[in-house]
Amino acid sequence: MSANSPVRPVMAADIRARKGGAPLVCLTAYTTPMARLVDQHCDITLVGDSLGMVVHGLPSTLGVTLEMMILHGQAVARGTSRAMLVIDMPFGSYEESPAQAFANARRLMAETGCAAVKLEGGRHMAETIRFLVDRGIPVMAHVGLTPQAVNALGGYKVQGRGADADRVMADAQAVEAAGAFSVVLEKVPDGLSRRITSALEIPTIGIGASAGCDGQVLVLDDMLGLFTDFRPKFVKRYAELGHAADEAIAAYAAEVRARRFPGPEHVFPDELKGEKP
């Protein structure tokens, strides 16, 4: 392939073929600049409904709308050329019926150019996943802790401990049988995550699960440390950009108040003396 050849984006079949191979790398993105950074290093870029909390300050994902997902999906698409672009279907956009799910998934794909959608739920969503897949819409499934069902689950608790392990395993097997090309395991114990990964023929992507999963996903803002007061157990901070940004903003404010910014190098003279206009 020549240097000028177009980059072929990662597709669902490519992700499925990675089962048991090199671990899949996935991060969220919500804006074009961040998408460009993620695209250089990741196999999958996920426009997660976590944008409700991360970008819009909502208390949960439940208030996220389809229009919000489309808006951010379009922004991320502008910064994505290689990674597979997957977009979350928000709460209320797919649960009513397979037909409702198809209409909204079709709109997501048509208006953003994404390669797949992600939806939450196990056995009770299998019919909907099959309906979408049969109509040409690749689906990434999501079982274990499903944040859109946080009220029914009683909070953001680990799922699949003790006797509950059978339920999570059955959910994972159901979404595979329905045609999902991969499945996110969220807040599922290490041992169970490994058993599910071994039992399935599609890749598992862990978040708060196990290093034994076929891949990992994190919320970009969490792993960059943009939130100084949010430290879930399953997130490793690879930077502390929140503190760095706070210090930078404080320094800017101090210089403005002291009239040290802008300096002579930041303003334009009345007459050009060799400087660029």
Q: Which residue ranges are tagged as binding site for Mg(2+)?
A: 49, 88, 120
* Residue ranges of the binding site: 49-50, 88, 118, 120
Alpha helices in the chain (DSSP H): 12-17, 32-39, 51-54, 66-78, 98-112, 126-134, 150-153, 165-178, 190-199, 220-223, 241-257
Q: Which of 111, 186, 201, 240 is catalytic?
A: 186
Active site residue 127: no
Catalytic site positions: 186
